[in-house]
Structure 1
Amino acid sequence: MMEAMTDTEVRTFIEVTEYWVPEEGVLKLAGGNYGDLTEFKAASGQTSFAKGEGLPGMAWAEERPVVFKTLDPASFKRADAARAAGLTSAVAVPLFDGKALKAVLVVLCGDGEDRIGALEVWQSKDNLLMLEDGYYGAAKHFEFVSKHTHFPRGQGLPGAVWAANTPILMRDLGSSYGFVRSESAGQAGLTTGLGLPVPVPSGETFVLTLLSARGTPIARRFEIWDARAARVGKDGAAVLIDGICAREGRLWAAEAEEPRRAAAWQGLIGRVLGSGLPVVDQGVAGIAAGYENFVALPIHSKGEVSHIVAWYS
């Protein structure tokens, strides 16, 4: 049996995760994991964003993921609160169902010499995926390599996501034949990668990759759920198709005590499936034992939730 990672002294690469939903013409906070950053949480709860305003509003208006490597007061409304909390960068990911915006996910990170990880946005240009932007913490050499790397369809983690149009987990990045940047990933200490498509109304191809290091992991457990009717039938269920515990680096999805199927509104995954919205919670009932924070995102296709990606810390 694989045990959940309970070493709470290890800081995750992502400090804050939150999501915003459109209500009455603006984006309002719908949930988040803030840890002990109570003042930043309070500032967030008092903030809303018009279309094009701030980081979430920009992702909404431009219909694409947006990376802020610095939190400038001119473009980031909560800059003072973020600075006080030690937050220095952020990524916003819009979640569309066709042309309708369902939510905007925002993750925020802090700097530090030991902060290793990667949040990358790839965009297709001239039949290749190019790095649109990314945040890498202290992994400067890996960042340099990434800026000079491109992927044809089917190659590497971003290219595999592009070809399959599904989320993909990749293990042992430093030694994986399928991970094109394996040498520099190994040098940086990156171990686990999650890639997912980001559908947008324009039909342009965007792929988001989250690359996790052992010392400052993105999360300690990852899951991919498949909700396509062709796979699970028409009962509105989702099936767990892949999962990994970042500490152990091995598949745990076959463990007998883990539920392999979730119906709409059944548990945390079921909430995502039933609502079509993210679930971002901290200390909520239903999180697997040994974990405090939970994030789950739906991926919409043809008016339905096709996949759900989840991570725990």
Structure 2
Amino acid sequence: MMDVTLDPQARTFIEVAEVWVPQEDRLVHAQGSYGALDGFAETSAGESFAKGEGLPGKAWAEARPVVLKAFDGSYFKRAEAAKEAGLTAAVAIPVFAGAALKAVLVVLCAGDAERIGAIEVWAETDGFLMLEDGYFGAAKQFEGVSQHTQFPIGQGLPGGVWAARTPMLMRDLGSGYRFVRAESAGKAGLTTGLGLPVPVPGSKTYVLTLLSARGTPLARRFEIWDARSARVGKTGAALLVDGTCARDGRLWDADNPRRAAAWEGPIGTVLGNGLPLVLAGNPAQTAGYDSMVALPIHQAGELAFVIAWYC
């Protein structure tokens, strides 16, 4: 299914993606996609974080996704380098397999009057999902609506992810009856929504939603891969079950499903090691795009899904 609302020439909402992995008692830099931000890339490559230190360390220590909407005066260790690079906000997403931290994925955004999009963290409180925090760029009215919205299980994109415990893609947010905030999304120019569960130790439920606009899409292509053994018949494989892209049209075929095997290609690498993957500078590996991010979701001790997006 083709999503014509995503402009393949537009500048993406997310500027930087990086992976931090535990090494003894610290998080060390594993991979990153920085575009032309060479100075910030160099600073990041030499950095590491103790548990509770900086943004990746905070996501590790608190075992939850963490949004940081401003760097000045914050605990963000690379604030000066980020300011020089024009970066203004970041979100850290921990990847847990049971109680064990596999990695922390950090995405960073650049804010200006034209950047529209949303990265939201929803947390369960008293039987509802409520907005714990989020970064919305210039979509201030939509941010206000989101702060006063709550979802019971099964309602809207966050509630649907909560009920199904699976990632979900929604299209045509401004006109879709399933998207509770459709009117404000339409006014903000938001078109496509990706929701995913973020499993963490303990009983609290977290859902991350990525909302993309036509002018500054979060990414140009999204994919959801199902790696549950009940779906693929064995571990170490995954099926592409949903995806959207302006350039490539339909990404999956129910009669002839796309399959990925462990250690074959980028998705296969994530299936093999269970770690997030960030690739840049090799279009042959990233379907002709400048960069790719693949985020694994572990459930009940096994890799259940891989979410991929391309910029």
TM superposition score normalised by structure 1: 0.94
Stretch deviating more after TM superposition (98-107 or 66-75): 66-75
Name 2:160's counterpart in structure 1.
Answer: 160
- Displacement of 1:292: 1.1
Query: Deviation per CA, 1:15-56, whole angstroms, max 9, x where unpaired?
Result: 101110000210001111100000000000010000000000
- The change in CA–CA distance for 1:249 and 1:176 in structure 2 (over 3 A counts) is farther
Name 2:272's counterpart in structure 1.
Answer: 274
- Displacement of 1:287: 3.0
User: What code does the residue aligned with 2:282 have?
Assistant: V
Contact 2:7 2:217 in 1 (8 A): no
Query: Deviation per CA, 1:55-113, whole angstroms, max 9, x where unpaired?
Result: 00000000001110101354010000000000011110100000000000101111111
* 1: CA distance, partners of 2:6 / 2:175: 26
User: What code does the residue aligned with 1:145 have?
Assistant: V
Name 1:193's counterpart in structure 2.
Answer: 193
User: What code does the residue aligned with 2:306 have?
Assistant: I
* 1: CA distance, partners of 2:36 / 2:7: 17
Q: How do 1:208-247 and structure 2 match up within 5 A?
A: 208-245=208-245, 247=246
* 2: CA distance, partners of 1:231 / 1:269: 17
* 2: CA distance, partners of 1:68 / 1:148: 20
TM superposition score normalised by structure 2: 0.95
- Displacement of 1:289: 3.8
Contact 1:73 1:80 in 2 (8 A): no
User: What code does the residue aligned with 2:281 have?
Assistant: G
**Structure 2 residue ranges without an equivalent (≥5):** none
Contact 1:242 1:251 in 2 (8 A): no
Name 2:180's counterpart in structure 1.
Answer: 180
Two-structure CA RMSD over aligned residues (Å):
2.3
* 1: CA distance, partners of 2:305 / 2:230: 12
* 1: CA distance, partners of 2:162 / 2:108: 25
- The change in CA–CA distance for 1:48 and 1:115 in structure 2 (over 3 A counts) is same
Contact 1:272 1:278 in 2 (8 A): yes
Contact 1:4 1:290 in 2 (8 A): no
Name 2:303's counterpart in structure 1.
Answer: 305
Q: How do 1:69-218 and structure 2 match up within 5 A?
A: 69-218=69-218
Name 1:23's counterpart in structure 2.
Answer: 23
* 1: CA distance, partners of 2:86 / 2:6: 24
Name 2:263's counterpart in structure 1.
Answer: 265
- Displacement of 1:6: 11
Contact 2:6 2:214 in 1 (8 A): no
- Displacement of 1:235: 4.8
Contact 1:267 1:286 in 2 (8 A): no
Which one has more relative contact order, counting CA pairs under 8 Å at least 6 apart?
2
Name 2:251's counterpart in structure 1.
Answer: 252
Residues paired across the two proteins, number? 311
Name 2:290's counterpart in structure 1.
Answer: 292
Name 1:11's counterpart in structure 2.
Answer: 11
* 1: CA distance, partners of 2:39 / 2:73: 17
**SS of the counterpart of 2:71?**
coil
* 1: CA distance, partners of 2:3 / 2:181: 30
* 1: CA distance, partners of 2:287 / 2:307: 19
* 1: CA distance, partners of 2:32 / 2:205: 27
* 1: CA distance, partners of 2:18 / 2:248: 26
User: What code does the residue aligned with 2:176 have?
Assistant: S
Q: Percent identity?
A: 65
- The change in CA–CA distance for 1:106 and 1:235 in structure 2 (over 3 A counts) is closer
**Structure 1 residue ranges without an equivalent (≥5):** none
